[in-house]
Each structure stands twice: as structure tokens, then as C-alpha cells.
Amino acid sequence: MKKILLYMVILIGLSITACDSDINGAIDDYDNFSLTINGSDSTFFIGTVGENYPIMGTLSNSAGSTQEITVEDLAISDSETEIYRYDNGVLKIIDQGTEILTATYGSETVEIEIYVDEYVRGDLRAISPADLERRAVSYSGYREGDSPDIPEYPSEAEITEDLALLKQAGFGLLRLYDSGTHALRTLNVIKNTYPDDFKVMLGVWITEATPDENWVQTTSAIDFMNTGGEYDFSDIIVAVSVGNECTVDWNTWAPADPSTIRKFVQYIRENVSQPVTTDDNFAPYSGGSPKSLEVAKVVDFLAIHTYPALDTAYALANSDVWKCLDTPEAERAAAMNAWAVARAKDEYNQVRTAMDGKGLTELPIVIGETGWKYRVASQNLMVNRAHPVNASMYYNSMVDWIYGTGRSTNPDPVAAATEGPMALFYFEAFDEPWKQGDDGWGLFEISR
């Protein structure tokens, strides 16, 4: 991994005038204002993306007396830029580039030029083969009256009930969507009740609209994943996914630019030991978008979403290709299912081909989401397609592809991971009424 070079040009020798003597007890005879980063006031500093460097302001004079400036009294011009985030006395390096950091105390300022070299991911991290053999499912346990928007979350007792059902159904790998209250309760239940039965791919909810909350999510995720922290779920969390369908062009509810996703992937990856990915629709990656390619270069694997059945209500709404009208009516449901599975495979292959074409031949790809509605909700999506029988056929066929007849038999796990998806996070475990028209995907109804 390349070292990050942080060049600091510190302007010192600034006079603290008499009018500054009233600033929180500053003393008149201090005539220099300087900054230190990570304990060093050198003009040359070497750091790493993902590191958190304490910043301290100091007043000094020729007699050798010094006085530290509190974090509250030290003003930083920009709390977040393209390459760093300043938060309560800590400089968090997130990306490459050059910025001028301006620190102010009273009427005096110090300018620091920060240069950060390009981030390079290094060796890929992998989910263990044993954990990849676990059947995977997306889990959000929101029941009637629950919603992350209120917010109102399932209790630990309700989550315990859910996980008992999922264990009985043969699932052992859960995908969570954020690092908030619902995730914390789920991880607590696993740790206290099902320590050997479940592993987790944690989520970090990211959107351009909530930059401060993005950092709350990021900080919580890092704390959840690391040994010795307040929580320490390091033996439960086997991977973390940053963002959910953030970069696809039809996301209007929680979009984020690929560059934003890339920065959070980089920062989180340098603060945890688990593999880091992002979940998104297959389209941004199959199309070879330059920004999406930059994301692919920093993740440990791609988690793509494929929804052939849902596409029949959108991209294929005016097409008859999925209707299989040349198939006898009695066999049409099976034919439609076969078409959907073939389309899912094709979308995977499009992404695989695109990644190989960009030199990312060893980057694994998993199915981060797919599903088939078993009932029509208020949006009237998938009318005449949403049915329990159709949903069951699709689920069984996709499981057979990923874990059965379609699974690579290559004894080399690195090679096997590029010869087909090694995991299928089926969407989803339970219905979620708060989603209204986008409900009806659950393997279990809301009544459990």
C-alpha cells in the first residue's frame, strides 16, 4: 500500500495581540500560535488513509512557556473536504488530493497544505469458505408499527423470535443494512443467544443528504467490528457493505455519488480487518462507468443486485419477452422462472466480463440481492407475476445455481470465487409493512 504524504506548511511567529487576551484566558505575552498533528510540529508528515490524527493548537513565547488551545476554541475552516474530515480535534484522512486546512484562534490563523497520495487497496480480503457455505438472507425485522423513519425498531425479544425461525429454515448468514439500533440489537441477540448459528454482513447506510449521519454510521460500524471496543462483534461480522443501491440512476431516496462510496470504503477498510464491499444494482458495474470502476478497485468483492421479475414492471414493461407466450399455458410459470434465472445469470456475467476487461480478474462477485414478490402490494407491481408459487420456484432455482449445480468445484478458493457467485443474499427474510408498495418480498409473512 502506498504511503500517504501529508505536507504541512505551518505559518508560525504570529503575534497574539492584546485584544486576544480575553479569549478564554489566553495570556498576553504568548507571541506564537502553532499547530501539531499527531504530536509533531514538523513541516513534513507521513500518514495513511484511514488514520485519525489529533490536531492541537499551542500558544508559546520566547521564554519557553506554552499554553494549549482547547478543541472548542480552535476553529477549522472546513470540517469536511474532498480529502479529510475534521471532527472534534481529529483529522480523518479519506482520500487523495491537495487541500489547504486553515485553523483560526482569535484573529490569528495557521494554514496547512495537505497532500494525500493515491490510495491502493492491496491484497483482497475474503469471507471464509465455511461462512460462504452458509445460506444467506437479507434481514430487517420491522413489524407492524415499526419503521426506521419514526424511528421504531424491533425489540431484542422479537429479533430472537425471528432468528429462531431463520435458524430453523437453514439460514446462517445475515445481511444487515445499517449500523444503527436495529443492527446493534440483532448483533446482541446473536452474541448472547445464537453465537454459533449466525454470521453477519454488516451495513453502513450512506446518502449524500446526511453527511454527519454517514459518519455516525461509519464510526458505529468500525466500533462493532473491532476487537476491544465498546461492543466487539468481531467474531460475528464477516464483512461490511457500504451503501445500498446508492449509485444507480433510479435511486431517488438515498443516492450517493460513487466517489462518496469509494471514500467511505477506503476509510472503513483501513480501520477494520474484515472484507469491505458495496451493494448496488448490476447496471453501474456492467456498463463500465469510470466512477463505478474506481469503487470496484477499492472493494474486496462486489455485491450486485439483480431483479429480473421486477424489471418486467419497469425496463421490460413494454416487452413480451418475459411472458413466454410461445409456451403452453400450463408450463408458462416454469418457463417464466427459467427466463428470470437466465437473465440473472446474464447480468452477473455482464459484470464479470466488465471487471475482467478492466483487469479486475480476481475480484469476486456475489449476489447481494435478488427476489420475487409473492404478493402484490399497493404499487401494483408484478401483477399476475407476484405469487407464492412463482416466488418459491425462483428462490429454489437461484439457490441451486449459487449453492448447488452451478457452484464452482475448483479446489482453489480464489479461482472458484471468480467462476460464479459464491453467495446469494436473498431478499428478504420477512415482510416489512413500513415499505408499503415495496413490500411483499418476504420468505416469511409479517405474522411470522
* Any domain includes 123: no
Q: Residue 204 sits in a domain of what CATH number? A: 3.20.20.80
The pTM of the full predicted model, rounded to 2 decimals, is 0.91
Task: Find the mean pLDDT for residues 28-56.
Answer: 80
Of 46 and 289, more confident: 289
Q: Which residue has the higher pLDDT, 77 or 200?
A: 200
Cell digits of residue 229: 471496543
255 & 157 share domain: yes
The rounded distance, in Å, linking the Cα atoms of 331 and 293 is 41
* Residue 258, pLDDT score: 96
How many domains does the structure of the chain reveal? 2
Q: Which pLDDT value is given to residue 19? A: 36
- Residue 216 has a CB neighbour count (10 Å cut-off) of 13
Q: Are residues 367 and 393 in the same domain?
A: yes
Kindly state whether residues 133 and 110 are assigned to the same domain.
no
Facing residues of 69 across strands?
Answer: 57
**Residue 122 belongs to a domain:** no
What grid cell was written down for 357? 476487461
In a domain, residue 444? The reply is no
Quick one: 224 exposed, middle or buried, by C-beta within 10 A (0-12, 13-18, 19+)?
Answer: buried
Closest listed residue to residue 421, CA positions, set 440, 408, 439, 435: 408
Residue 240 lies in a domain: yes
Confidence (pLDDT) at 9: 36
Question: Picking from 1-15, 68-82, 94-108, which range would have the lowest pLDDT averaged per residue?
Answer: 1-15
Residues 125 and 193: their CA atoms lie apart, in Å, by 28
The set of residues, in sequence order, having a beta carbon less than 8 Å from that of 91 and lying 6+ positions away, is: 37, 52, 53, 54, 55, 84, 85, 101
Question: How far is Cα 429 from Cα 177, in angstroms, rounded to an integer?
Answer: 13
Q: Specify if 54 maps to a domain.
A: yes
Residue 43 has what pLDDT? Answer: 63
Average pLDDT of the segment spanning 44-69: 87
Q: What is the pLDDT of residues 202-221, one digit of tens each?
A: 999 999 999 999 999 999 99
Which phi and psi (to 5°) does residue 444 adopt?
-120, 140
More confident residue, 77 or 142: 142
Are 91 and 138 in the same domain? no
Taking 50 as the threshold, does the pLDDT of residue 317 lie above it? yes
Q: What is the per-residue pLDDT for 112?
A: 86
Q: Can you tell me the distance from the alpha carbon of 85 to that of 294, in angstroms, rounded to the nearest whole number?
A: 21
Percent of the chain with pLDDT over 70: 93
Same domain, 177 and 87: no
CB 131 within 8 A of CB 274: no
Residues pairing with 147 in the sheet: 152
Q: Residue 140 has what pLDDT?
A: 98
Question: Per residue in 84-112, is it b (16+ CB within 10 Å) or e — as a string?
Answer: bbbbeeebbbbbbeebebebbbbebebeb
Nearest Cα to 221, choosing from 267, 287, 259?
A: 267
Pairing of strands 302-305, 199-204: unpaired
The yes-or-no verdict on residue 306 having pLDDT over 50 is yes
Domain extent, residue 383, equals 129-438
Q: What is the pLDDT of residues 380-391, one digit of tens each?
A: 778 889 999 999
Shared-domain flag, residues 365 and 289: yes
Domain co-membership, 140 together with 266: yes
Q: How confident is the model at residue 90 (pLDDT cuts 50, 70, 90)?
A: very high
Residue 264 placed within a domain: yes
Least-confidence region, from 79-93, 122-136, 358-372, 377-391: 377-391
Whether the CB-CB separation of 84 and 114 falls below 8 Å is answered with yes
Whether the CA torsion 142, 144, 145, 150 is positive or negative: it is: positive
Q: Which three cell numbers stand for residue 306?
A: 439483480
Q: What is the pLDDT of residue 42?
A: 62
pLDDT at 318: 85
Please report whether residue 211 resides in a domain: yes
Q: How far apart are CA 179 and CA 218, in angstroms?
A: 8
Q: Under the phi-then-psi rule, with left for phi > 0, alpha for psi from -120 to 50, and beta for the rest, what region is 382?
A: left
Verify that 96 and 209 share a domain, yes or no.
no
3-state secondary structure of 179: coil
Cell of 92: 480523518
Cell matching residue 13: 511567529
Residues 57, 22 share a domain: yes
In the predicted model, what is the mean pLDDT of the chain? Answer: 90
Residue at a domain's end among 57, 90, 116: 116
Task: Say whether both 136 and 108 belong to one domain.
Answer: no
Give residue 22's pLDDT: 41
Q: Whole-angstrom Cα distance, residue 108 to residue 33?
A: 8
> Which of 94, 116, 138 is the endpoint of a domain?
116
Which amino acid is located at 118 in the chain? Answer: E
Model confidence at 296: pLDDT above 80: yes
Helix (H, G, I), strand (E, B) or coil at 18: helix
Whether residues 49 and 139 share a domain: the answer is: no
Question: Higher pLDDT residue, 16 or 121?
Answer: 121
What would the pLDDT profile of 119-145 be if each residue is shown by its tens digit? 999 999 999 999 999 999 999 999 999
Domain boundary pick from 116, 149, 179: 116
Least confidently predicted of 18-27, 253-262, 415-424: 18-27
Beta strands in 221-301 (DSSP E): 237-244, 276-281
Mean pLDDT of 65-77: 87
pLDDT digit string, tens, across residues 248-292: 999 999 999 999 999 999 999 999 999 999 999 999 999 878 999
Beta bridge partners of 32: 60
Identity of the amino acid at 237: I
**Residue 305 is assigned to a structural domain of this protein:** yes
Q: CA–CA separation, 207 vs 199, rounded Å?
A: 26
Mean pLDDT to the nearest integer, 292-305: 97
Q: How confident is the model at residue 29 (pLDDT cuts 50, 70, 90)?
A: low
pLDDT at 44: 65
The reply to whether 108 and 215 lie within a common domain is no
Tens digits of per-residue pLDDT, 218-248?
999 999 999 887 899 999 999 999 999 999 9
β-strands 365-369, 276-281 pairing:
unpaired
